[in-house]
Amino acid sequence: MTRRNALWRLLALLCALSFIAAACGGDDDDSSKASGGTSTTAKAAKGGELEGMKGTTPLVELSDTFKTNLKAVDPKLKDFNYAAESYDAVVIIALATDAAKSDGIEMAAKINGVTRGGTKCKTYAECKALLDKDAATDIDYDGQSGPLEFSGNGEPTVASYGILQFGADNHIDDAKTEYRSAQAPASADVPQQDPQGTRKGDGTLKIGTILPETGSLAFLGPPEFAGVDLAVKDINAAGGALGKPIELSKGDSGDTSTDIANQTVDRLLTENVDAIIGAASSGVSKTVVDKITAAGVVEFSPANTAKDFSTYPDKGLYFRDAPSDILQGAVLGEVIAEDGRQSVGILALDDPYGTGLADDLSAALKDAGVDVVEKIIYDPQAQTFDAEVGKIKAKDPDGIVIIGFDESSRILATMVEQGIGPKDKAVYGVDGNMGNALGDNFDAGK
């Protein structure tokens, strides 16, 4: 073999090796550069770790029209969690204002009544037409979030839950979503609680929001804000409350690790709002509810589910159209039992929502004959969850429930590392974490 031939063969071999490396996603592969150095093959191998994870959230089967209208308000909308409840909260307040002919304290006394026991109507315009015809008409608003049917303590007695499931792309597989109705026990339907206070209205309904732009529930912010914005748009298009456009002032709630909610509430009260929509977090609402109700202002949450709000001394001024976790605990317990689980471990964040739902779920599981082998209450601000996950793993339950917020993605990453992720165990979530944002955070390592 001549030296020239040897060189040609060496060059051919190097070219062949370079071609193979490129085809396999080597450094010269365009897809690797576009993804920041991660090859297409590697990306395909990664992902799907959340597939099969199942959970519950208050949700009805939303109409395509409603979802289209929400996306017209916010084209970037990914999830619809609590969008309908936020929409209905504004509509109910506006209808109560029209029924009372006042945006003052009298409006609060009408809120429960416009959701039950009268002539059925399904939109603000339809309900308003009934009131305009005869102000004494008793209306029964059935909204985007369901029939509502408020008890005298300002919360729904009937609810619908979506049973969601993650698909192979680590996002909710809408085709697998199921819906289940729930009814509060008869004891939950208590007499009307009249509002306490003397606050006067000025003839213009002003609504403020304390919803999560930041913090551990920030993923719920976009659908909630979209619901509020759409409701204001629809109400004003129908002539507005008391014949005038609703005024809206938005604000962030942050989470319980900050004082943002109190700062927002102080600003809104200075602006003389008549009602405040929010907070999303039960823990955050606990920090501001006394201040809001002491001012004679309505607080109306679209997402608070902690059961102790059912009996909270709120001067008859706190309302919510998200159902109590007594109902969610029962529904999730049914789902877990129907899946054939015999033992369950629970990881719940340390706040009124987490501990309350953990207790309600535990009771439901016990009634269904499912053994709760471990219940761990964790600090959501913890740097790692290795110890907590390790304790659950040691008990080797059939299923694991995570009751948390955005920290749930880090808990799931730790579970995957320890071999008890959704591909290895039946894993369940709740309204605080079941959404596409969980998959986004998980994939991003957040």
310: Cβ contacts below 8 Å, ≥ 6 apart: 153, 155, 188, 324
pLDDT at 135: 80
Q: Where are the alpha helices (DSSP H) in 215-270?
A: 221-237, 260-270
- Over residues 113-137, the pLDDT tens digits come to 999 999 999 999 999 999 999 988 9
pLDDT at 136: 87
Q: H-helix or E-strand containing 271? A: none
Q: Fill in the amino acid letter for 30.
A: D
In terms of phi and psi (left: phi > 0; alpha: psi -120 to 50; beta: otherwise), the region of 254 is left
pLDDT at 339: 98
Whether 112 shows a pLDDT value over 70: the answer reads: yes
* Segment 374-387 mean pLDDT: 97
Whether 4 shows a pLDDT value over 60: the answer reads: no
Whether 242 shows a pLDDT value over 80: the answer reads: yes
219: Cβ contacts below 8 Å, ≥ 6 apart: 79, 81, 406, 435, 437, 438
* Segment 224-251 mean pLDDT: 98
Q: Is 147 helix (H, G, I), strand (E, B) or coil?
A: coil
The DSSP-derived string for 162-221 is: EEEEB-TTSSB-GGG-EEEEEE--GGG-PPP------PPP-SS-EEEEEB-SSSTTGGGH
Percentage of the chain surpassing pLDDT 70?
Answer: 89
Contact 282, 288 (CB under 8 A): no
pLDDT at 304: 96
Contact 385, 414 (CB under 8 A): yes
Distances (CA, A) of 116 to 269, 277, 326, 400: 30, 21, 21, 38
pLDDT band per the 50, 70, 90 thresholds, residue 66:
very high
Whether 151 shows a pLDDT value over 70: the answer reads: yes
Whether 289 shows a pLDDT value over 60: the answer reads: yes
Percentage of the chain surpassing pLDDT 90?
Answer: 87
pLDDT at 41: 26
323: Cβ contacts below 8 Å, ≥ 6 apart: 58, 155, 156, 159, 182, 184, 305
Q: Which of 317-321, 326-330, 338-342, 414-418 has the lowest mean pLDDT?
A: 326-330
Give 116: exposed, middle or buried? Use CB within 10 Å, 0-12, 13-18, 19+. Answer: buried
Contact 121, 139 (CB under 8 A): yes
* Segment 20-24 mean pLDDT: 38
pLDDT at 34: 30
Among 232, 230, 224, 233, CA closest to 251: 224
Query: Domain spanning 326-444: which CATH class is it, in words?
Result: alpha beta
Tokens 């039992």 belong to 337
Q: H-helix or E-strand containing 26? A: none
For the chain, the domains span 59-154+193-323, 326-444
Which CATH code, of 1.10.40, 1.10.10, 3.40.50, 2.40.50, is assigned to 59-154+193-323? 3.40.50
| Angle between the N-to-C axes of helices 64-73 and 221-237, in degrees from 0 to 180, rounded to the nearest 10 | 100
Contact 91, 124 (CB under 8 A): yes
* Segment 259-263 mean pLDDT: 98
Contact 185, 48 (CB under 8 A): no
* Segment 287-303 mean pLDDT: 98
Contact 372, 344 (CB under 8 A): yes
Domains 59-154+193-323 and 326-444 share a fold: yes
Among 430, 257, 247, CA closest to 333: 430
pLDDT band per the 50, 70, 90 thresholds, residue 23:
very low
pLDDT at 20: 36
pTM over 0.75: yes
C-alpha distance across the termini of the chain, in Å: 59
